[in-house]
Amino acid sequence: MIEIDGSKGEGGGQIIRTAIALSAVTGTPVRITNIRVNRPNPGLSHQHLRGAEFLAKITDAEVQGLKLGSKELFFAPRRIKGGDFDVDIKTAGSISLFLQSLIPAALYASDRLRVRVRGGTDVKWSPPIDFLRFILIPALREMGAEIRIELLRRGYYPKGGGLVQVEIEPSALSGFTPPKLGVDLVKGISHASNLPGHVVRRHAESAEKRLLDLGIRSEITLEQVSEISTGSGIFLYSGYKSGSALGERGKPAESVGLEAADSLITELNAESTVDIYLADQLIPFMALADGRSEITVREISLHLETNIRVVEAFLQRTFRVERTNGAVKVLKP
């Protein structure tokens, strides 16, 4: 059995998601203690419960401590099974974070897994669903994963209501060493629900102008929808780098576009091959893949360090982290 101290590193949900996913893949029981003890609302949150409950379901796992506010979780999986499932995270719980723990396990299932997930697609403190659609999942496909993702409906805070369907085939992963790409074109999506049409245009136009001032062309799709919650956002990407921002009451629409553009520009200016968000999410997949993987990132985040620590506990795979030419190289031999 693996023992994980949930207060170490980033000390939040990332430890839980990575640990139970690798527990499922390896068949190794795990006990996570001190779960989120330094957070304002310590212990397992509603979001973490939904992810752990679903992994327990598809692995017939023995679990202890699977309740709201629990600071300790024991998870002992059996065989990972495929099938068709519907999951409702409730309210605006993040679909992206739910999928973070599901995808690694599903790649090692006995059969194809198809799941329709209801919840939030564009909510605070989590990757927007477009990050998975245009950054993470394309990277995993490059590694050999057979994954299809379809955004059926967007969901914003507070009611959620988003709907995403994912199909994952059992897949063998190979190493991943992306090249550093030049910037030919930035693509993006500006989206809004139950807001005037000028909001998505102002998001996009401010981002386009900021990029064009630096000589960078962009193509941003406008997406106007009417869902159960009001909200807006913009997602920009080029290669394996991205920038995003969400609208808020009282926040000018132009500020949303500028925030996303500036976030992407910071990544594009770095001597790196992936952005800081993709880097930490790739760590479990790099560890599970056959062969060598190497990425460079502009800085090491707590999430990345935490994922490396959890992965090394389960898989005895050692990562090398080296600073080089204004970036940080992360290598799995």
Domain containing 127 — which CATH number? 3.65.10.20
Mean residue pLDDT of the chain comes to 96
My answer on whether 242 and 204 are in the same domain is yes
Binned at pLDDT 50, 70 and 90, residue 273 comes out as very high
Q: Does 44 reside within a domain?
A: no
Mean pLDDT over residues 261-283, rounded?
A: 97
End position of a domain, from candidates 149, 172, 195:
172
pLDDT for 332: 96
Binned at pLDDT 50, 70 and 90, residue 6 comes out as very high
Instruction: List the one residue out of 295, 272, 275, 276 whose CA is nearest residue 285.
Output: 295
pLDDT for 326: 83
pLDDT tens for 170-207 read: 999 999 999 988 898 999 999 999 999 999 999 999 99
C-alpha count within 13 angstroms, C-beta hemisphere, residue 160 = 17
SS3 215: coil
pLDDT tens for 30-64 read: 999 999 998 888 999 988 999 999 999 999 999 99
My answer on whether 168 and 231 are in the same domain is no
Distance CA 20, CA 26 (A): 10
pLDDT for 61: 98
pLDDT for 75: 98
Q: Does 237 reside within a domain?
A: yes
My answer on whether 213 and 143 are in the same domain is no
Q: Does 262 reside within a domain?
A: yes
Cis amide leading into 158 (omega within 30)? yes
Q: Does 14 reside within a domain?
A: no
Residues designated catalytic: 303
What angle do helix axes 276-288 and 302-315 make, rounded to 10 degrees?
10
Which structural domain range is residue 205 located in? 186-269
Q: Does 59 reside within a domain?
A: no
The H or E element that residue 189 is part of is: strand 186-193
End position of a domain, from candidates 125, 150, 172:
172
Give percent of the chain above pLDDT 70.
100
- In order of 50, 146, 301, the CA distances from 158 in angstroms are 17, 33, 28
pLDDT for 9: 87
Q: Does 299 reside within a domain?
A: no
My answer on whether 94 and 135 are in the same domain is yes
Look up the CATH number of the domain holding residue 228: 3.30.360.20
Q: Any idea of the CA torsion for 14, 271, 129, 115, to the nearest 10 degrees?
A: -60
For residue 10, pLDDT beyond 90: no
My answer on whether 88 and 166 are in the same domain is yes
For residue 11, pLDDT beyond 90: no
Q: Does 146 reside within a domain?
A: yes
The count of structural domains within the chain is 2
Mean pLDDT over residues 79-85, rounded?
A: 98
End position of a domain, from candidates 125, 142, 172:
172
Binned at pLDDT 50, 70 and 90, residue 316 comes out as confident
My answer on whether 162 and 207 are in the same domain is no
Q: Does 70 reside within a domain?
A: no
pLDDT tens for 90-140 read: 889 999 999 999 999 999 999 999 999 999 999 999 999 999 999 999 999
